[in-house]
């Protein structure tokens, strides 16, 4: 059985890739991912905003209350050196590359154009095989237009592409007025891959404390439908590879995503639920399914159920229930 796939120019043994999450914070866990059969790992994201906040926070706490009282002019020893940049993350890339053979894809969330490009270059230098841009922005400002938001995405991508040689993918949110157009523009701007879709922290209200508490909700199998639709629509229309993330919980989900056109199927919630070793189970079940249905390779099924290749492409664009006779086909179809 040939499960090989090509994503971002990387030859992957299977389409099973670990998506960006805290699961990849420990080197031992990355080794376990490889041992369990992960074809590649997207590392957890480096957040430039977090680094900045850490620097301000450290400065605040090292100075707060100092030089006020004669007996306690400071409260902390001050080392000559702090690791306040991305060193930890870059070391993590280096160590991962030293200890595993599968591709390591770095993930970056910048807060400034300088941050995007600088850190992207450093990640490349550290040995990342590819880069996933985790462009994460809630446009709450009513004065900000959709066009401006889109332009920001493109500028980030173009800047990073101009600075690095390794492949670059963009992890997208589904919240664009015209996702297909956005995808095409990113494609034209040089994206090597699009990852559909990003999952954001969603605020919740705690009724006892009357507080807003943002947290991340692990995806459910139902979440699969949204990326599946859009991958199906986009497949064949872009040069960029497509990767599916959100809601892939079973071998069937993997197969479906491959069929609509995802070169890589990214796993997160399922690994939180069942453990990293579950990658092996998924792989076996995918093989079993392919065996049972007499598929020989992933390449064979890739995009087979995309809008381009499926029997009823209009279904991917249907947004509302329309009563229609199954037998009726419009004349122009």
Count of C-beta atoms within a 10 Å radius of residue 32: 17
> Of the candidates 226, 222, 239, 229, which has an alpha carbon nearest to the alpha carbon of residue 186?
239
Choosing from 68, 101, 320, 327, the residue that interacts with another protein (CB under 8 A) is 68
Nearest-approach distance from CB 26 to another protein, in angstroms = 9
Give the number of other CB atoms < 10 A from CB of residue 272.
Answer: 15
> CA-to-CA distance for 314 and 157, rounded, in angstroms?
32
Q: Is 207 in the site for another protein (CB under 8 A)?
A: no
Minimum Å distance from CB 201 to another protein? 16
Helix, strand, coil percent content, the chain, rounded in steps of 5: 40, 20, 40
Of 78 and 294, CB closest to another protein: 78
Residue 269 C-beta: closest distance to another protein, Å = 19
Spatial contact of 202 and 218, defined as CB atoms under 8 Å apart:
no
For residue 103, give both structure tokens: 């591709």
Distance CA 85, CA 102 (A): 26
Stretch that binds another protein, among 29-37, 84-92, 214-222, 260-268 (CB under 8 A): 84-92
Residue 66 interacts with another protein (CB under 8 A)?
A: yes
Closest separation in Å from C-beta 91 to another protein: 8
- Output 48 or 283, the one with its CB closest to another protein: 48
Footprint of another protein on 301-320 (CB under 8 A): none
Q: Give the separation between CA 326 and CA 243, rounded to whole angstroms.
A: 32
Find the binder of another protein among 73, 144, 180, 217 (CB under 8 A): 73
Binding to another protein by residue 61, rule CB under 8 A?
Answer: yes
Please report, for residues 82, 91, 126, the alpha-carbon distance to residue 120 in angstroms, rounded to integers and kept in the order given: 21, 14, 10
What part of residues 33-52 is at the interface with another protein (CB under 8 A)?
51-52
Nearer to another protein, 213 or 318 (CB): 213
Total number of residues that touch another protein (CB under 8 A) = 36
Residue 74 buriedness (CB in 10 A; 0-12 / 13-18 / 19+): exposed
Beta carbons of 249 and 222 less than 8 angstroms apart: no
For residue 82, state whether it binds another protein (rule: CB under 8 A): yes
Cα–Cα distance for residue pair 128/300, rounded to 1 Å: 29
Q: What is the 3-state secondary structure (H, E, C) of 260-306?
A: HCCCEEEECHHHHHHCCCHHHHHHHHHHHHHHHCCCCEHHHHCCCCC
Choose the stretch contacting another protein; rule: CB under 8 A; options: 31-39, 67-75, 247-255, 273-281: 67-75
Interacting stretch for another protein, rule CB under 8 A, among 70-78, 98-106, 253-261, 317-325?
Answer: 70-78
Q: Which is nearer to another protein, 59 or 288 (CB)?
A: 59
Rg (CA), the chain: 22
Our CB check for another protein shows the closer of 63 and 162 to be 63
CA atoms within 13 A on the CB side of 296: 1
Taking the complex as a whole, how short is the minimal distance between the CB of residue 79 and another protein, in angstroms?
A: 4
Nearer to another protein, 65 or 174 (CB): 65
Q: Which stretch binds another protein (CB under 8 A): 60-68, 170-178, 250-258, 324-332?
A: 60-68
Residue of the chain from 49, 56, 220, 312 that contacts another protein (CB under 8 A): 56
Q: Three-class SS of residue 174?
A: coil
Q: Is 81 in the site for another protein (CB under 8 A)?
A: yes
CB 39 within 8 A of CB 102: yes
* Residue 22 in contact with another protein, rule: CB under 8 A: no
> Residue numbers of the site for another protein (CB under 8 A)?
51-52, 54-59, 61-85, 88, 210-211
């Amino acid at each position: 059985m040939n499960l090989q796939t090509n994503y971002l120019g990387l030859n992957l043994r299977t389409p099973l890739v670990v998506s960006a999450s805290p699961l990849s914070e420990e080197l031992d866990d990355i080794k376990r991912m490889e041992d369990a059969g992960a074809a590649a790992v997207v590392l957890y994201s480096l957040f430039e905003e977090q680094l900045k906040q850490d620097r301000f926070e450290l400065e605040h706490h090292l100075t707060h209350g100092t030089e006020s009282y004669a007996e306690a002019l400071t409260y902390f020893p001050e080392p000559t050196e702090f690791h306040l940049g991305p060193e930890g993350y870059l070391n993590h890339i280096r160590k991962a590359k030293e200890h595993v053979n599968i591709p390591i894809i770095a993930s970056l969330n910048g807060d400034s154009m300088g941050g995007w490009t600088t850190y992207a270059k450093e990640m490349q230098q550290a040995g990342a095989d590819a880069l996933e841009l985790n462009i994460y922005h809630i446009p709450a400002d009513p004065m900000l237009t959709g066009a401006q938001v889109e332009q920001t995405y493109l500028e980030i991508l173009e800047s990073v592409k101009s600075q690095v040689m390794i492949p670059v993918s963009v992890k997208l949110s589904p919240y664009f007025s015209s996702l297909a157009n956005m995808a095409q523009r990113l494609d034209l701007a040089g994206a090597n891959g699009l990852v559909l879709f990003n999952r954001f922290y969603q605020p919740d209200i705690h009724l006892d404390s009357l507080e807003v508490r943002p947290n991340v909700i692990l995806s459910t199998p139902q979440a699969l439908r949204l990326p599946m639709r859009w991958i199906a629509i986009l497949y064949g229309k872009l040069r960029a590879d497509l990767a599916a993330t959100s809601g892939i919980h079973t071998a069937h989900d993997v197969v479906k995503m491959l069929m609509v056109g995802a070169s890589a199927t990214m796993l997160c919630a399922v690994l939180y639920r069942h453990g990293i070793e579950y990658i092996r189970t998924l792989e076996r079940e995918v093989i079993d399914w392919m065996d049972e249905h007499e598929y020989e390779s992933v390449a064979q099924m890739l995009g087979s159920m995309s809008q381009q290749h499926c029997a009823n492409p209009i279904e991917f664009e249907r947004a509302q229930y329309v009563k229609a006779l199954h037998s009726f086909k419009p004349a122009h179809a």
